[in-house]
A and B are shown apart, each in its own frame.
Chain A
Amino acid sequence: MNAPNHRWRKSKNAFVQALTLLCALLVLAPLALVFFHLLRSGAGALNWAFFTQLPKPVGEIGGGMANAIVGTFVLLGLASIIGVPVGVLGGVYLSEFGAARLNWAIRLGADILNGVPSIIWGIVVYALVVLPMKSFSVLAGGIVLGMMMIPLVMRTTEEVLHLVPNGYREAALALGIAQWRTVLQIVVRTALRGIITGVLLAVARVAGETAPLLFTAFGNRFWNHSLSEPIAALPLQIFTYAISPYDDWHRQAWAGALVLLMLVLAVNLSVRFLARDKLRLSRF
């Protein structure tokens, strides 16, 4: 073994390490850029009116996105009502009851659904809900986001339930507790924080969806009063304002984007917080 060869090998190693580090750090660059840019362009337009007022008619300066902020929460709430029970129970089935072959098919289906472009979800729900109801609506918007949440929640729930040590299932069954009670009141309870984490991640993921809402919730410049009427949502409002020709609307679009990003960031941070505890609880 001669020395020059050795040095060459070491330098190759250092090069590859540096390259991977560089690529890993590149992940942070867009986040920093986006955050910085949004703060610079959006913070100026953030004021009390932005959170409390409806949009002003075209041509007037001022107004806010109160209806869009509330609309986003309404849509996310509705989506959760649809997506969380189905997703969680589906994940419970995969982890606790399913037969291998059927599980394989369900997992494949969920993974494919996770990869379906969101605009396709929008078109599907447009055909299934909007056309029969003859109206864009909150309901359609909630349904489309909820449907997008189901495969996400299902897979994370399954993964988290797999982390629950088998000893707890055996202990419960050996006490003469029926299997369904064991699953719901011992296993799911043990993994609850992890499941909530998965749900929050799914909520954060669909919170920024715009394309499917174009075909369903549609947007609304006023308050929404019924499930069968269109509703405003932050991503939609940002989209509309950003492509408009008015400077004031552009500023408000930046502000809206900043609020949306903060929302997603808040959810992600609370997920970190929950996930830390989840590991503590899962230990045997």
Chain B
Amino acid sequence: MMAADITRENQAPAVGPADGPASAPGPAPAPPPASAPPAPAAFQIRNLNVFFASNHVLKNVSLQVEARAVTAIIGPSGCGKSTFLRSLNRMHELVPEARMEGDIRLFTEDIYAPAIDPVVVRRRVGMVFQKSNPFPTMSVADNVTVGLRLNGVRARSVLAERTEQSLRMAALWDEVKDRLRAPAVSLSGGQQQRLCIARALAVQPEVLLMDEPASALDPLATAKIEDLIVELKKEYTIVIVTHNMQQAARISDFTAFFYLGELIEFDATKKIFTSPTNKQTEDYVTGRFG
């Protein structure tokens, strides 16, 4: 398990790191974010602040991402959705002047502890981007296994097995099983995006982050991705940024509404879309602004 690679700075909690399937909770009814849940959350975020140079992008965000559920992040452009998502696997650190304050725990483990290598965090928290980006020099199969191969997995049997398993999970196997050796860029746009999901799944992450994964796709391809997300939440925790309100309503269990870098409201998706507590949330989800 990848998690074992992590040097633990903090004392392991009594519950134990819940990266195995055994300790994950079922589809629990939405607990309000303040109350402590019985099972450990996938992410426990406390007082998160992110700055790019002097620009204060995320302001004091605290929320809890439930394991094996889909959490949608919505909000108008520039509200910090993507930054929030990227802070969950430390991808925002690629911006040279990025700085964060606060505390993010992945299954009780502090992912910003000084001894933790961001590379290890990213193995546990996979990511799918808005633009599909399969590597153009590689075949379909090589794209799926690249994360394993470049981390030292050599055994052909393991690679072949993981290729099929990941492509099946990404609902792509039947379409590409006869052309695994074809260049990845020969696939259609929707297939390329599912290939990117398969590539992310192949390294067996615990959480999957998705940054508007369907916004560049046609409605049919979008529907496939959405079905896939609903299917994947049986085994994975998914955090998805989306501009599409209907999409958030259709596929997510929890929804967080961000505005100008602040978390305005976070609750069960049903609650957010039917009876939001906050006026701004209501205006946004009903399309009155944003």
Which chain A residues have a beta carbon within 8 Å of chain B's beta carbons?
Answer: 165, 167-179, 181-182, 185-186, 189-190, 192, 281-284
Complex CA gap A177/B146 in Å reads: 9
Residue of B nearest to A166 (CB): B94
Q: A176-B120, A176-B151, A176-B203 are in contact. Are A171 and B133 (CB under 8 A)?
A: yes
Complex CA gap A171/B135 in Å reads: 9
The reply to whether B203 and A186 contact each other, CB–CB distance below 8 Å, is no
The reply to whether B120 and A173 contact each other, CB–CB distance below 8 Å, is no
A-B contact count (CB 8 A): 76
The reply to whether A190 and B136 contact each other, CB–CB distance below 8 Å, is yes
- Confirm or deny: B199 has a beta carbon within 8 angstroms of a beta carbon on chain A: yes
Query: Which of B94, B120, B131, B199 has a CB less than 8 Å from the CB of A175?
Result: B199
- Confirm or deny: B89 has a beta carbon within 8 angstroms of a beta carbon on chain A: yes
Q: Which of B91, B123, B133, B147 has the most chain A CB within a 10 Å cutoff?
A: B133
- Confirm or deny: B126 has a beta carbon within 8 angstroms of a beta carbon on chain A: yes
Complex CA gap A170/B150 in Å reads: 15
The reply to whether A175 and B200 contact each other, CB–CB distance below 8 Å, is yes
CB<8 Å pairs between A and B, sample of 22:
A165-B133, A167-B133, A168-B133, A168-B136, A170-B127, A170-B133, A171-B133, A171-B135, A171-B196, A172-B135, A172-B150, A173-B91, A173-B122, A175-B203, A176-B120, A176-B147, A177-B119, A178-B150, A179-B119, A186-B150, A190-B137, A283-B136
Contacts of B94 in A (CB 8 A): 169-170, 173
Q: Which of A176, A182, A284 has the most chain B CB within a 10 Å cutoff?
A: A176
The reply to whether B131 and A167 contact each other, CB–CB distance below 8 Å, is yes
- Confirm or deny: B129 has a beta carbon within 8 angstroms of a beta carbon on chain A: yes
Which chain B residues have a beta carbon within 8 Å of chain A's beta carbons?
Answer: 2, 89, 91, 94, 119-124, 126-127, 129, 131, 133, 135-137, 146-147, 150-151, 196, 199-200, 203
Complex CA gap A174/B89 in Å reads: 8
The reply to whether B122 and A175 contact each other, CB–CB distance below 8 Å, is yes
Distance (whole angstroms) from the CB of A51 to the closest CB of chain B: 39
Complex CA gap A284/B2 in Å reads: 31
Contacts of B131 in A (CB 8 A): 167, 284
Distance (whole angstroms) from the CB of A142 to the closest CB of chain B: 32
Residue of A nearest to B183 (CB): A281
The reply to whether A284 and B133 contact each other, CB–CB distance below 8 Å, is yes
Complex CA gap A233/B129 in Å reads: 54
Q: Which of B119, B124, B129 has the most chain A CB within a 10 Å cutoff?
A: B119
The reply to whether A174 and B200 contact each other, CB–CB distance below 8 Å, is yes
The reply to whether B119 and A190 contact each other, CB–CB distance below 8 Å, is no
Distance (whole angstroms) from the CB of B26 to the closest CB of chain A: 28
The reply to whether B136 and A178 contact each other, CB–CB distance below 8 Å, is no
Complex CA gap A207/B129 in Å reads: 46
Distance (whole angstroms) from the CB of A167 to the closest CB of chain B: 4
Q: Which of B121, B150, B199 has the most chain A CB within a 10 Å cutoff?
A: B150
The reply to whether B146 and A175 contact each other, CB–CB distance below 8 Å, is yes
Q: A170-B94, A170-B129 are in contact. Are A176 and B135 (CB under 8 A)?
A: no
